[in-house]
């Protein structure tokens, strides 16, 4: 059973991999049309409610194809089980033989999402970041910070959440990063002092209004991956100089971009795709005054890339 790897084994090798590079290359391949990602498979349950998604695909001429199974059962808390769960399966693209089962319990999805946030900041943040603002003090809010830090030269952070208890816990679990971490219940305090902001909440109403954002700010919106969720004022996308999607196709159906287009604040012709931004300097931020927004809804190529990188480290 040398093909099966547990979450513990996966966590052990994570420090050895460079997810930023893996995810970057994935986005570039995706925007160049070199990734095959069929429609997501879905099962919806009630009593108790839950949903299961099967995401799968491959990069053309690559060695593997990847199938990810992810679930969310929100009443699991009652049973003291995690709501989210998942696994990633790697197969040999030439023979169909199973290469590896990564029993990551959904953790690699969190990691690849955080790495995508860091990639967006790497290519879109202003040169000098005064302070990093994080909306959301959950696991994704923590991981976003963890993966941002090596890419961004800034040690001042302010974190917003609705609950002081969550904020205290956030501070406790991130203080070993060696940062100056402030917390706040006031969203405006983040907008007023930060020029790099990451939103990682399940909000269904905008957290920040367009007026509060300073010139020269980059915002990465992570939280909304459905047609219902929204973190940014649609007028903010109208105000932005650059609006970048991880997948333009997907962003037309869900997330901030979907919401802003629906509100008449944005036209699809004005969208850029992250893989193209990475590959072409001309598409990146042009001055320290521009407002840039990256809307990340999550693309299967991230799963492909993270699972390959982890598997390589596990068998090195």
Nearest to 148 by CA among 113, 170, 175, 117: 117
Query: Tokens at residue 86, please?
Result: 């998942």
| Binding test (CB under 8 A) with a second copy, winner from 7, 52, 192, 252 | 52
- Does 311 participate in binding a second copy (rule CB under 8 A)? no
Site for a second copy (CB under 8 A): how many residues?
A: 38
Stretch that binds a second copy, among 98-106, 235-243, 265-273, 283-291 (CB under 8 A): 98-106
| Complex with a second copy: residue 10 or 187, whichever CB lies closer | 10
Give the shortest CB-47-to-a second copy separation in angstroms: 9
| Complex with a second copy: residue 42 or 186, whichever CB lies closer | 42
- Does 65 participate in binding a second copy (rule CB under 8 A)? yes
Query: Tokens at residue 232, please?
Result: 């940014």
| Complex with a second copy: residue 70 or 196, whichever CB lies closer | 70
Report the SS3 class of residue 236.
helix
Give the shortest CB-170-to-a second copy separation in angstroms: 26
Nearest to 161 by CA among 176, 148, 174, 150: 174
> Whole-angstrom Cα distance, residue 18 to residue 303?
14
Give the shortest CB-17-to-a second copy separation in angstroms: 23
Stretch that binds a second copy, among 27-35, 96-104, 244-252, 266-274 (CB under 8 A): 96-104
Give the shortest CB-55-to-a second copy separation in angstroms: 10
- Does 90 participate in binding a second copy (rule CB under 8 A)? no
- Does 8 participate in binding a second copy (rule CB under 8 A)? no
Long-range contacts of 265-273 (CB under 8 A, 24+ apart): 265/234, 265/235, 265/237, 265/238, 266/234, 266/237, 266/238, 270/243, 271/243, 271/244, 271/245, 272/242, 272/243, 272/244, 272/245, 273/27, 273/30, 273/31, 273/244, 273/245, 273/246, 273/247, 273/248
Which residue's entry shows tokens 């319990």?
A: 105
- Does 91 participate in binding a second copy (rule CB under 8 A)? yes
Q: Would you say the C-alpha torsion 243, 246, 251, 256 has a positive or negative sign?
A: negative
Q: Where does this chain bind a second copy (CB under 8 A)?
A: 1, 4, 6, 36, 38-39, 41-43, 45, 48, 50, 52, 54, 56-58, 65, 67, 69, 71-73, 76, 79, 81, 85, 87, 89, 91, 93-98, 101, 103
């Amino acid at each position: 059973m040398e093909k099966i790897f547990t979450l513990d084994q996966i966590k052990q090798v994570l420090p050895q991999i460079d997810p930023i590079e893996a995810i970057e290359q994935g986005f570039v391949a995706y925007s160049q049309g070199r990734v095959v990602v069929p429609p997501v498979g879905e099962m919806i349950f009630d009593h108790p409610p839950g949903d299961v998604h099967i995401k799968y695909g491959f990069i053309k001429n690559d060695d593997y194809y990847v199938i990810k199974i992810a679930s969310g059962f929100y009443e699991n808390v009652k049973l003291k089980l995690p709501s989210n769960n998942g696994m990633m399966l790697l197969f040999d693209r030439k023979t169909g033989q199973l290469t590896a089962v990564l029993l990551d319990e959904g953790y690699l999805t969190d990691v690849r999402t955080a790495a995508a946030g860091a990639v967006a900041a790497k290519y879109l943040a202003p040169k000098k970041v005064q302070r990093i603002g994080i909306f959301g003090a959950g696991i994704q809010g923590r991981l976003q910070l963890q993966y941002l830090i090596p890419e961004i030269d800034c040690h001042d952070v302010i974190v917003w959440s609705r609950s002081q208890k969550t904020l205290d816990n956030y501070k406790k679990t991130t203080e070993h990063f060696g940062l100056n971490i402030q917390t706040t219940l006031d969203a405006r305090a983040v907008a007023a002092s930060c020029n790099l902001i990451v939103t990682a909440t399940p909000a269904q109403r905008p957290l920040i209004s367009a007026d509060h954002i300073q010139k020269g700010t980059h915002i990465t919106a992570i939280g909304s991956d459905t047609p219902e969720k929204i973190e940014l004022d649609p007028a903010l996308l109208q105000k932005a100089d650059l609006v970048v999607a991880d997948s333009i196709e997907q962003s037309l159906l869900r997330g901030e971009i979907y919401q802003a287009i629906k509100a008449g604040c944005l036209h699809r012709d004005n969208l850029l795709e992250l893989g193209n931004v990475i590959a072409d300097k001309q598409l990146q931020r042009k001055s320290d005054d521009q407002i840039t927004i990256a809307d990340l809804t999550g693309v299967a190529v991230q799963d492909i890339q993270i699972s390959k990188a982890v598997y390589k480290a596990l068998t090195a």
